[in-house]
Amino acid sequence: MTTFKSTFEQYNWDEIQSKIYASTAKQVEQALARSKRDLDDFLVLISPAAQPYLEEMAQECHELTKKRFGKTIQMYAPLYVSNECQNICTYCGFSLDNKIKRKTLLDSEIRQEVAALKSLGFDHVLLVAGEANYTVNINYFLNAVDVIKNDFSIISIEVQPLSQEEYERLHEAGVYSVLVYQETYHQEVYKKYHTKGKKSNFDFRLDTPDRIGKAGIHKIGLGVLLGLEDWRTDSFFNALHLDYLQKTYWQTKYSVSFPRLRPAEGTAPPNFIMDDRDLTQLICAYRLWNEDLEISISTRENENFRNNIVPIGTTSISAGSKTNPGGYVVDPQSLEQFEISDERSVAEIADIIRSKGYEPVWKDWDKSFAP
């Protein structure tokens, strides 16, 4: 079975990194002059040489996003159902070696959390769980989807990598999209961050989007954990992955997220710092390369950044997020996976979006479009 791995193995991390940092202003100008851009252009646009062109990039990013998606921002909320995990990951609050109280929501508790989210207006929910294959597994997810399916128009999941057959079952149950992050595409460094558990298998995780695509899921979300490795090189490989998937599973929609490392219980600080200007450059580079890509911004990011990125390239945004199981009403004190940065209410976020001339959309892209 051909998967992304065969494409991935044709590239060398150090060579790509050197190419990024050797990019010139002339190459940036050539990339910006093109109406259609490829991965070579993306590589140049994420380079340090592109930083002086950020204003020009942001303006075109704004126009391309408005043309493709209208002046709308899709609203969603994560629903954490479990912090049980069998992996040891050095950057995560749910890591097996962290001595924390573990909790997995019962059906009645899921319903309480759902009621809280519905009262805030959400119609798109993202189910999130730690990777505990023996307890929080496909049967648990199928049951959770059954519990909530009448309450949300869109159900997405962000859980451990599953088999193609399991993704097919989730698709049949009503799951619309699946998010899975490689965390880092640096294979040797990956081993240092993931020391125990199924997640330590780099290749199995790398092939996960192929299994999702073959299962017919409507949308696949990718991303890297920004702060584990050099963000520019990691992001090139993430774009390479997206490029392969779009060509292979062309009927599927795609999104990219930008999780920057945030403080969490028992974790070390980021090894690589990415500031707000860097993240803005990366978002613009993705849009200039791929007009159809959905771009999601979570509450990991601070208020000022989220306010300013709305009119540039964002297509979806979370609000009022809780990153602990039962965090909305059932068990607000349970341990969160990471600290959120934007703690404003859902209503406040919606008002900010409107103040920028955009409409918060609670379902999908069928509510309104602006010229």
pLDDT in tens, 127-177: 999 888 889 999 999 999 999 999 999 999 999 999 999 999 999 999 999
Half-sphere exposure of residue 273: CA atoms within 13 angstroms, side-chain side? 3
Select from 47, 11, 15, 6 the least CA-distant residue to 29: 47
Amino acid at 31: A
DSSP string, 91-159: T-TT-TTS-----B--HHHHHHHHHHHHHTT--EEEEEE---TTTSSHHHHHHHHHHHTTT-SEEEEE-
181 exposed, middle or buried (CB, 10 Å; 0-12, 13-18, 19+)? middle
Tokens of 174: 């009503």
Instruction: List, for residues 313-338, the tens digit of each pLDDT value.
Output: 999 999 888 888 999 998 776 555 54
290-317 average pLDDT score: 92
Backbone dihedral region for residue 70 (phi beyond 0: left; psi -120 to 50: alpha; all else: beta): left
CA distance 297 to 300: 8
SS3 content of the chain, % helix, strand, coil (to 5): 40, 15, 45
Centroid of chain to Cα 320: 17
Contacts of 132 by beta carbon, 8 Å cutoff, 6+ apart: 82, 84, 85, 86, 104, 160
Q: Reduced to 3 states, what is the DSSP secondary structure of residue 40?
A: helix
Instruction: List, for residues 175-226, the tens digit of each pLDDT value.
Output: 999 999 999 999 999 999 988 888 999 999 999 999 999 999 999 999 999 9
> 9: how many CB neighbours lie within 10 A of its CB?
9
**Global confidence as pTM:** 0.93
